[in-house]
Amino acid sequence: MRRDKKTGACHKEDDYESCENIKLSKKTKKASDMLDIFKEPEIFANASEIIRKAQIIRAKRRDKKEMILFLAVSFAFVFLLAAAAFIDIKTVIAVECAVYFVLPLAAVPAMVLRKGGIEVRK
């Protein structure tokens, strides 16, 4: 058995037990037995509840991400339009019209995709 000179710790995996045996033999064995006061729990885990909570947390995280993305895109769009208005107001109006026309049409498939993406397979 090899031990560290400074700390006295065992060097190898197998030394852990031999440390006990050689150093304090009976006393350590008794101490080891005395430490066995625990009985392993036999509690039934409520797995469905845990998974349900996890789904709620995931949904909240996803909503937060989407909200941040939505705000970022909205602000970028508005600032871009404001900047473009200085150059050519007619183009800005045309772009706005196109966006307001396309947005409701894009919303439905986006919502369907969003709903389909979060389900946990049974």
- Which CB atom, from 58 or from 114, has the smaller least distance to another protein? 58
d(CA 60, CA 66): 10
d(CA 55, CA 52): 5
Coil/strand/helix, residue 2? coil
- Which CB atom, from 36 or from 86, has the smaller least distance to another protein? 36
State the first-to-last Cα distance of the chain, in angstroms, to the nearest integer: 54
Q: What are phi and psi of 10, to 5 degrees?
A: -75, 140
Q: Which amino acid is at 48?
A: S
Binding track over 32-61 against another protein, x by CB under 8 A: x-xx-xxxxxxxxx-xx-xx-xx--xx---
Nearest distance from C-beta of residue 28 to another protein, angstroms? 7
Nearest distance from C-beta of residue 7 to another protein, angstroms? 5
**Residues in touch with another protein (CB under 8 A):** 4, 7-11, 13, 16, 19-20, 24, 27-28, 30-32, 34-35, 37-45, 47-48, 50-51, 53-54, 57-58, 120-122
